[in-house]
């Protein structure tokens, strides 16, 4: 099941980025819900919220380390359901953004709510995974 989650999120992330890079120019913005939600193509050369700009080697190393640790943990296969799903979401997100950094030197972002920095499917997976991971650790007995 975790493989399906990772493959689905990673495919959706890469497909949406591919389509938007080929349809929009950099910084072009299309309103989906005017005043609320836009599709805006940006290149994020930093980490979350654009911090630590142009630190590509650091981000690549960090992503690789996270991917290796998460994969190793999932390979053991002795986790509760939500904990494993959370790890799968974070893994898929880390892989999606790593592919961008290795391919382009930046991450392609496009989901724009105008009150939050522009983000992508991989970022969403990491965020949902991190929240679910925290919930699992706090409320599930014997998580791992």
pLDDT digits (tens, 9 = 90+) for 34-68: 999 999 999 998 776 666 777 788 889 999 999 99
pLDDT band at 141 (very low <50, low <70, confident <90, very high): low
The set of catalytic residues is 109, 123
* Count of domains observed in the chain: 1
Phi and psi for 92 in degrees, rounded to 5? -60, -45
Domain extent, residue 40, equals 2-139
**pTM exceeding 0.85:** yes
What is the C-alpha to C-alpha distance for residues 82 and 78, in angstroms, rounded to an integer? Answer: 12
pLDDT digits (tens, 9 = 90+) for 78-93: 778 899 999 999 999 9
Q: Please, are residues 78 and 68 in contact by the beta-carbon 8 Å criterion? A: no
- Is residue 144 assigned to a domain? no
- Is residue 67 assigned to a domain? yes
DSSP 83-128: HHHHHHHHHHHHHHHHHHHHHHSSEEEEEE-SSS--B-HHHHHHHH
**Best CA proximity match to 87, nearest among 66, 114, 108:** 66
């Amino acid at each position: 099941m975790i493989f399906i989650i990772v493959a689905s999120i990673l495919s959706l992330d890469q497909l949406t980025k591919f389509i938007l890079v080929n349809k929009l120019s950099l910084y072009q913005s299309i309103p989906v819900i005017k005043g609320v939600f836009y599709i805006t193509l940006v290149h994020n050369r930093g980490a979350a919220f654009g911090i630590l700009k142009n630190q590509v080697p650091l981000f690549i190393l960090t992503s690789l380390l996270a991917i290796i640790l998460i994969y190793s943990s999932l390979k053991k296969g002795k986790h509760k359901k939500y904990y494993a799903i959370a790890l799968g979401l974070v893994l898929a997100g880390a892989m999606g953004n790593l592919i961008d950094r290795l391919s382009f030197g930046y991450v392609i972002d496009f989901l724009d709510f105008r009150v939050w920095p522009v983000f992508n499917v991989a970022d969403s997976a990491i965020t949902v995974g991190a929240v679910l991971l925290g919930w699992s650790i706090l409320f599930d007995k014997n998580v791992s």
